[in-house]
Structure 1
Amino acid sequence: MIGMVTKEQILEALKEVSDPEIGMDVVNLGLIYDIQINGDRVYIKMTMTAPTCPVTPWILAEAQKVIENLEGVEAADIELVWDPPWNPSMMSPEARAELNL
């Protein structure tokens, strides 16, 4: 399908969305659990570092916005999940190094 967005493009776009409390993007934090593409719709399962994260609504809105701005994406549906619970081992090696973990 010509013009269909790829998972790699979605992940690159999501790197623009950072957790403002940590100062790290949601991809390198390991918050993106699953990406499914169905034509021009994108479905994402993601989590937060903690259920009490006060910026959760903002992060979800920003993630949806950057995905829907991609060429070939009509809509993005983001599901917030808590299973499995996030932990620092889910971070990229670069993120763990940057945060001295």
Structure 2
Amino acid sequence: MTDATTTAPTFEEMKAKLWEVNDPEINLSIVDLGLIYDVTYDDGDVLVTMTLTSPGCPLGPIIRGEVYAKLREIPGVKDVDVQIVWNPPWDPRTMASEDVKMQLGIW
């Protein structure tokens, strides 16, 4: 049960925190890259379902750690579970923001 003085964070608040996390290899937000598939909040616990730019991404543990740390900054968040999934596979042509597509040269 959430403390009466702390309200559950909104999806938008959690997404804003995740927007602060960049993929270190290309220095673009994981949200703008389309790597975040879902974020849910349940009684202090946050579940993030996301992917990486490739299954062999050597910086996956760093990104996962940053996602955890950023979401823990939100009042009312007690724990964060970051699930890395490979389905659907990440495709920047359909999942990345228009700004990211331009920066990556994807037309």
Which TM class, normalised by the smaller chain length? Answer: over 0.9
In structure 2, distance between residues paired with 1:25 and 1:31: 9
Q: What residue identity is the alignment partner of 2:68? A: Q
RMSD, aligned CA:
1.2
Report whether the alignment pairs 1:25 with 2:29: yes
**CA separation in 2, counterparts of 1:99 and 1:86?**
14
Candidates 83, 86, 93, aligned match of 2:98 = 93
Residue deviations 1:26-61 (CA, integer Å, cap 9, x gap):
100000001111121111100000001110000000
Amino acid in structure 2 at the alignment position of 1:60: R
The residue number in structure 2 matching 1:67 is: 71
Say how many residue pairs are matched: 101
Instruction: Tell whether 2:38 aligns with 1:15.
Output: no
The higher radius of gyration belongs to 2
Identity %: 38
TM-score (norm 2): 0.89
TM-score (norm 1): 0.94
Structure 2: 5+ residue runs without aligned partners? Answer: none
Gaps (5+ residues) in structure 1?
A: none
How big is each residue's C-alpha offset from its partner over 1:32-91, in whole Å with a ceiling of 9 and x where there is no partner?
001111121111100000001110000000000000111111111110100000011200
Q: Distance in 2 between matches of 1:94 and 1:12?
A: 17
Q: Which amino acid aligns with 1:99?
A: L
